[in-house]
Amino acid sequence: MSLPLQIVMTPVRNEGWVLRAFLEATSLWADYIIIADQMSTDGSREIAREYPKVILIDNKNPEFNEAERQSMLVAKAREVAAGRDTLLWGLDADEVLAANTFETDDWKHILNSKPGDVFWFKWAEICPNQKEYWLSPTTYYPWLFHDDGKEPHGNYVRNMHSMRIPYPIEEKQMYYVDDFRVLHLAYLNEHRVASKRRFYQFVDWEMNHRSPIVLSRSYTQTKKGELVIPLPDSFLYKKGNCGSDLLGLVDTEVAKCYMDEYIIERFSRHSMKELRKLDIWDDVFLKTYHLDDPQIMIDHHVHSYLRNTAMKKDGIVIRILDKVLKKLY
């Protein structure tokens, strides 16, 4: 029995800080890695071309649109597969399968799955100290679909936080992977984590006109309550098992990021009275880009309250206060 084709679909925009680590690890097991590059200027395209399994396609839309991007990736993957039995993986450039993946029963299950099967995974979010990782005990993400060739499935149609794979949400062929983890490398560069949080708030506000209160609740992240676990050597790709030290390939220091530049470029489209209400004006951002803080006292108070109550946001009192704030702010 022949094994299914493994195709990884990855969007890229200035991911040079982590792309080499991703490609080194993913090239060990994937048959093809399709990269949809959105006009990178940091060397990402040049890095991608060094790897024989990469198929580089162009995302020429300067705007952020996840549904369009994922549709492009899936269409190319199906073109490459040409009707063959195929596993479609939706992985970002800061995500790699743990090195011990390929010895597990869940990996065997994946290889012997059938069309229509959907696999959900947990992140192991590597801490900045590179010695531990955060694990959310209950959160799984659907990142692998044994392609059934049907289209559309209608679940990657949102402009933000769209599904990465075209799985049939009405079906019951769902499997939850517990034998291995997807290593999330984002927190190795905390500057980019902060930039992405700002970026998502701004773009969601600009495209979907959501309340600053709702946006802050959605994107203010805290690791309180998540398990902190020692990072086992078996998770990591080392010189002995893949030819390079995975974490050593990640640039943990790069401070400036296209996501910040993206939103700064759009500031002129909006009034500062609107922009100052967004929770994006942290000190590092202001200093890095030589910006003046537009917030007034009420803005500081509102966002201080939102941050300080992040762990209690589901409580009835906080929900009532949030409803009042949405009307007044």
Q: Dihedral through CA 133, CA 137, CA 138, CA 139, nearest 10?
A: 0
Instruction: Please say whether the beta carbons of 74 and 88 come within 8 A.
Output: yes
Query: How far is residue 241's CA from residue 57's CA, in Å, rounded to a whole number?
Result: 30
Query: How far is residue 131's CA from residue 128's CA, in Å, rounded to a whole number?
Result: 8
pLDDT of residue 156: 60
Residue among 307, 306, 311 at smallest CA distance from 321: 306
pTM: 0.92
Residue among 67, 230, 255, 234 at smallest CA distance from 152: 67
pLDDT of residue 240: 56
> How would residue 157 be classed by pLDDT, with cut points 50, 70 and 90?
low
Query: How far is residue 264's CA from residue 259's CA, in Å, rounded to a whole number?
Result: 9
pLDDT single digits (tens) 76-111: 999 999 999 999 999 999 999 999 999 999 999 999
pLDDT of residue 314: 87
Residue 5, phi then psi, degrees to nearest 5: -70, 140
Query: How far is residue 321's CA from residue 328's CA, in Å, rounded to a whole number?
Result: 11
Pairing of strands 5-12, 32-37: parallel
Mean pLDDT throughout 198-225? 88
The percentage of the chain sitting over the pLDDT mark of 70, rounded to a whole number, equals: 94
> How would residue 204 be classed by pLDDT, with cut points 50, 70 and 90?
very high
Residue 35: pLDDT over 60: yes
Query: How far is residue 237's CA from residue 245's CA, in Å, rounded to a whole number?
Result: 6
Residue 77, phi then psi, degrees to nearest 5: -60, -40
pLDDT of residue 152: 64
pLDDT of residue 67: 85
Q: Cβ neighbours of residue 237 under 8 Å, at least 6 residues apart?
A: 24, 25, 28, 96, 99, 244, 245, 246
Give the count of beta carbons closer than 10 Å to the beta carbon of residue 276. Answer: 16
Which CATH superfamily is 5-186 part of? Spore Coat Polysaccharide Biosynthesis Protein SpsA; Chain A (3.90.550.10)
> How would residue 242 be classed by pLDDT, with cut points 50, 70 and 90?
low
Query: How far is residue 74's CA from residue 76's CA, in Å, rounded to a whole number?
Result: 5
Distances (CA, A) of 68 to 3, 73, 164, 196: 30, 9, 11, 19
User: In the β-sheet with 86-90, what is the strand arrangement from edge to edge?
Assistant: 54-58, 32-37, 5-12, 86-90, 141-146, 118-121, 174-176
Residue ranges, CATH 3.90.550.10, the chain:
5-186
Instruction: Please say whether the beta carbons of 47 and 20 come within 8 A.
Output: yes
> How would residue 221 be classed by pLDDT, with cut points 50, 70 and 90?
confident
Query: How far is residue 106's CA from residue 93's CA, in Å, rounded to a whole number?
Result: 23
